[in-house]
Amino acid sequence: MLSPAVEPRLDHLVFGTPDLRGTVEEFAAATGIRPVDGGRHVELGTRNHLVALGPASYLEIVGPDVENPKPLGSAPFGVDRLVRPRLVTWCVRPPEIGEAVWAARRAGVDFGAVRTVGRVTPAGTALSWQVAAVDPPPYDGIVPFLVDWGTTRHPATTGAPTVELLTFRATHPKPADVTAVTGALGISLIVTSGPSGLEATVAGPAGTYLLR
């Protein structure tokens, strides 16, 4: 479940790691909840594990696919260049993705064209959806990218276990610039002055886990 203070349009948090298996084990030990295998991003050389944060949001733990390696520097959000796990960015689900792209552009962030991407589930099912995102992500990932799942079933409803998202906030050297963009998108995020970074805390039956 989501804390009332968390943005209701939150779609997912992206927790990148250089060691997907190790991070999944650490998360399971800390929370008592084991993330489920979400599948492969074949074109990108990454794969993920998922836990739900509620009926329409989730945490994606993503790292290099060691069985399907790609050239260094080709993975989204730089996850193949990480030296430790890090909450690299987040994603929101606007009412209309095209309108949100224009709103962000007017506020100074250009996500480029909306494009169709996808992944293959562990059962071999190909999924596709629309995203608007750029790499590197704007404001070090503190401004979220955009998604429209269309007719694809939302990952939070596909059997992933649930943890509670207790807190979610950010720091940035220019917090007013960040909030100008998030405000244009009609979303809220607590941003205070400091080094660029996102931080979230989730809880399961065994305890809490800090993502930052």
The full set of domain ranges for the chain reads 10-211
State yes or no: pLDDT of 104 exceeds 70.
yes
Nearest to 147 by CA among 89, 92, 90: 92
Reply yes or no on whether the pLDDT at 4 is more than 60: no
Please name the residues in contact with 24: beta carbons below 8 A apart, sequence gap of 6 or more: 34, 35, 49, 61
Q: What are phi and psi of 133, to 5 degrees?
A: -155, 155
100 in Cβ contact with 132 (< 8 Å): yes
Confidence of residue 81 (pLDDT cuts 50, 70, 90): very high
Q: Does 99 have pLDDT greater than 80? A: yes
pLDDT value for 37: 95
Give the mean model confidence (pLDDT) for residues 111-135: 90
Is there a contact between 103 and 182 (Cβ–Cβ < 8 Å)?
A: no
Q: What is the CB neighbour count within 10 angstroms for residue 110?
A: 12
% residues pLDDT > 70 (the chain)? 97
Return the pLDDT at 187: 93
* pLDDT for residue 2 is more than 80: no
pLDDT(123) > 90: no
Torsion of CA 58, 200, 48, 141, to 10 degrees: 100
CB 97 within 8 A of CB 114: yes
**Of 87, 63, 60, 202, nearest in space to 142 by CA:** 87
Confidence check: pLDDT of 79 > 70? yes
What DSSP state is assigned to residue 43? Answer: T
Rounded-to-integer distance, Cα 174 and Cα 203, Å: 30
- Helices 175-184 & 97-106, crossing angle to 10 degrees? 140
Domain at 10-211, CATH homologous superfamily:
2,3-Dihydroxybiphenyl 1,2-Dioxygenase, domain 1 (3.10.180.10)
Structure tokens at 5: 């203070």
In this prediction the pTM is 0.94
Q: Output the pLDDT for position 32.
A: 98
b/e burial code for range 49-65 (CB count within 10 A of at least 16 → b): bbbbbbebbbbbbbbbb
Position 6 pLDDT exceeds 70: no
Q: What is the mean pLDDT of residues 48-56?
A: 94
Beta-carbon-side half-sphere exposure of residue 17 (alpha carbons within 13 Å): 22
Distance of CA 58 to the CA centre of its chain: 8
The whole-number average pLDDT for the span 130-158 is 94
- pLDDT reading at 174 higher than 60: yes
